[in-house]
Chain A
Amino acid sequence: MPGKPANDKPTYDEANRLMELSAILFYAFTVLTVGSAAYMVFSKNIVHAAFALIFSLSGVAALYVLLYADFVAATQILVYVGGILILILFGIMLTTLDFTENLKTVTVNMLPASLLSGAVAVLLLYVFFAAEWTTIVPADRDGTMYDLGMMLMNEYLLPFQIAGVLLLVAIIGALLMSTRHKNEP
């Protein structure tokens, strides 16, 4: 708007337009998340499925951003993209494009899986309808980084350390498993 004085509070119109913009973004990322998740489940090619999983998890990261959880969003991308990279590498090692005709994922345990997912869906729907949803837009949008760091280093130091030790044990275990053949004669 020309001639608008700088630094004034957003007017009702502008705030409304911003809300509309985030609503559009929300639905776009929801479609991305759900669509790629569906593709991942129904795809027979494991590498395609892994790539679809990346888009699904990135969509979830974008939803975190819309919830003002910036640190969680960045962590989501950092952790899952790296993890899925390894998944894809395994996929490539197990199969190359020439041999996909022989190695495709097959559907097993149709009945128990359907029952379990149905139960989870009912549970989620129950939570969705039972919970009282309130919309609170935080006044302070400075991000969660500082508070998160303070809490991790003070109140929740022990769980944080235990998680670290757990990861260290996992790394040592992975090393042990991958080098066992060399130690045994």
Chain B
Amino acid sequence: MLEFLENIIPSSPVALVVFALFPMVIIIVYALFAIWLERKVAGFIQDRLGPMRTGGFHGWAQTIADMLKLIQKEDIIPKDASSFLFKLAPFMIFTASYAAFAVIPFSSGYIGSNINIGVFYLLAITSFLTISIIMASWASNNKWSLVGGMRTAAQMVSYEVPTIVTVLSVLIVAGSMNLMTITEMQTGNDIMGFLPNWFIFQNPFLIVAFAIFAISMLAESHRVPFDLPESESELVAGYQTEYSGMRWGMFMLAEYADMLLLSLLGATLFFGGWNSPFGTFMSGPIWGFGWFMLKGMLLVFVMMWIRWTLPRYRVDQLMHICWSILIPLSFVNFVLVALWEMIF
């Protein structure tokens, strides 16, 4: 793809920038769509219609209108806030999730950086998300922000352990950390004659691993039932309390980008990435991109569905689930995955 861009764009640094901006386009289009979808899903689950008027067809332009409103709003910085860190935090959180998209193979023809430490880089760079939230919460100089930030730190540090262990169980099946290689290994339909070679079908214990990954994914992107950092009934809006206008919009964008990132990571690790479920039928770079986004959006939809179905856990229950259930289970499962790989 970079070579193609260099052929049509005369200057190679400009081609490189266009190449690097490709995930940004996806994130922004996705965020506009996903916020609308979230309202529609919420509406339908609660037996109402959701936004219906803006733009005509089922209120499709609602998010665009909201974004234009956010851009026009006054930029308020509290007098006693730590000004520099307060301004920096929203940009840093979006940078962190955007940087992680560099190693996601969007299709067989596009991956930002085809490096061998792909998954490891992704896990490392997303730790900046936690730092940015702590930065926002501390710089706001607000007790609700601070409590929300402390909860975020505890939650993200705890749930990183089951996430990393389940990712590791996929890596021992794959034998590579490069997400492109991992996806290429899942090409073909050989299991029981018709099932695609996705990792979730290759090893029965990876189904358990995916269940653990899905739960920790909800906690890592702090969605309901694990949205303690911004639980509005206790903390107003958590670390976002003092933010308004487009700075708040950046947090929203980063949150949705984070959802997409973790869903796409799950789709790559367990559901074959850009591979078509029908073997060579409907496969190719463009179809692959479609399949990949479809798989990611399905996982995003499940996260929305859970949000409007389950109530929120308490802080102690959250920690209990992680340290007493998920972490031991994920370690046992890790050994079982490895044993299955050794025997078969």
Interchain CA distance A52-B249 in the complex, whole Å: 25
Shortest A138–chain B CB gap in Å is 14
Tell me, rounded to whole Å, the shortest Cβ–Cβ distance linking B333 to chain A: 21
Find A85's partner among B6, B12, B134 (CB 8 Å cutoff).
Answer: B134
B82 within 8 A of A: yes
Interface of B is mostly: helix
- Is B130 a contact partner of A78 (Cβ separation < 8 A)? no
Q: Which residue of A lies closest to B128 (CB)?
A: A81
Q: Cβ of A159 < 8 Å from any Cβ of B?
A: no
Bin chain A's interface residue count. Answer: 20 to 34
CB distance from B45 to the nearest CB of A (A): 36
In contact, B80 and A4 (Cβ under 8 angstroms): no
B146 at interface (Cβ–Cβ under 8 A)? yes
Chain B residues with Cβ below 8 Å from A115 are: none
The stretch that binds A, out of B119-127, B240-248, B308-316, is B119-127
Interface 9-residue window, one of A68-76, A103-111, A177-185: A68-76
Question: Smallest CB–CB gap between B217 and chain A, Å?
Answer: 19
Name the distance in Å between A150's Cβ and chain B's nearest Cβ: 13
Nearest CB to that of A143 among chain B residues? B116
Q: Does A89 lie within 8 Å of B117, measured CB to CB? A: no
Complex CA–CA separation, A56 to B304 (angstroms): 38
For B153, list chain A residues within 8 Å (CB): 85, 89
Residue of B nearest to A93 (CB): B150
Chain A residues lying within 8 Å of B130, measured Cβ to Cβ, are 81, 85
Q: Is the CB of A85 within 8 A of B124?
A: no
B138 engages A143 (CB within 8 Å): no
- Contact present for A75 and B13 (CB under 8 Å): no
Contact in complex: A97, B117 (CB < 8 Å): no
Known: A77-B124, A78-B123, A85-B130. A4 touches B7 (CB 8 A): yes
B10 at interface by CB-CB < 8 Å: yes
Please measure, in the bound complex, the distance between the C-alpha atom of A161 and the C-alpha atom of B7, giving whole angstroms.
51
Kindly state whether residue B135 has any CB partner on chain A within 8 Å. yes
A34 within 8 A of B: no
Q: CA–CA, A23 to B12, complex, Å? A: 17
Task: Confirm or deny: A60 has a beta carbon within 8 angstroms of a beta carbon on chain B.
Answer: no
Whether B120 lies near A71 (C-beta < 8 A) is yes
- Chain B residues bordering chain A, tally (CB within 8 A): 31
| Nearest B residue to A47, CB-CB | B138
In the bound complex, how far is the Cα of B12 from the Cα of A21, in angstroms?
12
**Which B residues lie within 8 Å of A1 (CB)?**
6, 10, 12
Please pick, from A4, A21, A71, the residue contacting B6 in the complex, using a CB distance under 8 A. A4
Measured between beta carbons, the chain A residues less than 8 angstroms from B82 are 48, 97
Q: Which of B121, B131, B177 contacts A54 (CB 8 A)?
A: B131
Q: Per a CB cutoff under 8 Å, which of A21, A97, A145 touches B116?
A: A145
Residues of A within 8 Å of B13, CB to CB, are 17, 21
Give every chain A residue within 8 A of B80 (Cβ-Cβ): 97
A6 contact set on B, CB distance < 8 A: 3, 7
A78-B124, A145-B117 given; A88·B138 CB < 8 A: yes
Asked if B202 is an interface residue, CB under 8 A from chain A, the answer is no
Asked if A112 is an interface residue, CB under 8 A from chain B, the answer is no
For chain B residues 102-161, which have a beta carbon within 8 Å of chain A? 115-117, 120-121, 123-125, 127-128, 130-131, 134-135, 138, 141, 146, 150, 153, 157
Minimum Cβ distance to chain A for residue B112 (Å): 14
Bound-complex Cα distance A7 to B4 (A):
11
Chain A residues with Cβ below 8 Å from B124 are 74-75, 77-78, 81
| Bound-state Cα–Cα, A1 to B3, Å | 10
Closest B residue to A81 by beta carbon equals: B127
A2 at the interface (CB under 8 A from B): yes
Are B134's CB and A70's CB within 8 A?
no
Which of A4, A71, A88, A98 touches B117 (beta carbons < 8 Å)?
A71
A96 to B138, CA, bound (A): 8
B85 on the A face (CB < 8 A) = yes
Per the 8 Å Cβ criterion, residues 123-154 of A in contact with B are 142-143, 145-146
A–B Cβ pairs within 8 angstroms, 29 of them: A1-B6, A1-B10, A4-B7, A17-B13, A48-B82, A70-B121, A71-B120, A74-B120, A75-B124, A77-B125, A77-B127, A77-B128, A78-B123, A78-B124, A81-B127, A82-B127, A85-B130, A85-B134, A85-B157, A88-B131, A89-B134, A89-B153, A92-B146, A92-B150, A97-B141, A145-B117, A145-B120, A145-B177, A146-B116
A residues touching B (Cβ–Cβ < 8 Å)?
1-4, 6-7, 14, 17, 21, 47-48, 51, 54, 70-71, 74-75, 77-78, 81-82, 84-85, 88-89, 92, 96-98, 142-143, 145-146
Cβ-closest 7 pairs across A and B: A143-B116, A78-B124, A77-B124, A74-B124, A81-B127, A97-B141, A145-B116
Q: A81-B124, A98-B141 are in contact. List 18 more A-B contacts (CB 8 A).
A: A2-B10, A4-B6, A6-B7, A7-B3, A17-B13, A74-B124, A77-B127, A78-B127, A81-B128, A82-B127, A82-B157, A84-B131, A85-B153, A88-B134, A88-B138, A92-B146, A97-B80, A146-B116
